Amino acid sequence: MTASAMRAAVKTRLQAGFTSYPIAFANEPFGEPMDAVGNPLPWVFFDPDTVDISRYGVGPVYKEHGLFQVHVFYPVYRGEDGADAIRASITTLFAGATFAGFRSEVVGDYANTGADPKSNYAASTLTIEVTNW
């Protein structure tokens, strides 16, 4: 398995299993979602830049390990419940899951990692560990 295969498997699972809000991917066109009157809507960002894939072992027996992050962007001044629900949905998708020859676990849930004063959003982050062993 390659880093790109692991990344693609996680991306595919996220796209297929999380359809409640738009998902942004690196180097792909994306516009921040707005409602009919221009208010910001929630969205998530799959962060492949945090991919850390390591390979342990020798010969035909080895383990590949990767860490990925999914950032949840939730409009400011709307409380925490909505962002919590989005993170819970993604956690359900990846906690103890097996897919495409991988096993995943959510190893970090960082609620409200802060809002940029120039932004309409507060951010929170999930860290997902993926292995093939």
Summarised one tens digit per residue, pLDDT across range 40-60 is 999 999 987 655 566 666 666
Domains of the chain in start order, with CATH, are: 3-28+39-131 (3.30.2000.20)
Torsion sign (Cα): 106, 84, 26, 24: positive
Summarised one tens digit per residue, pLDDT across range 65-75 is 888 999 999 99
DSSP code of residue 22? -
What predicted TM-score, i.e. pTM, was given to this entire model? 0.85
Contact 87, 111 (CB under 8 A): yes
Average model confidence (pLDDT) for the chain? Answer: 86
Task: State how far the Cα of 109 lies from the Cα of 69, in Å rounded to an integer.
Answer: 10
Encoded amino acid at 84, one letter: D
Task: State how far the Cα of 24 lies from the Cα of 28, in Å rounded to an integer.
Answer: 7
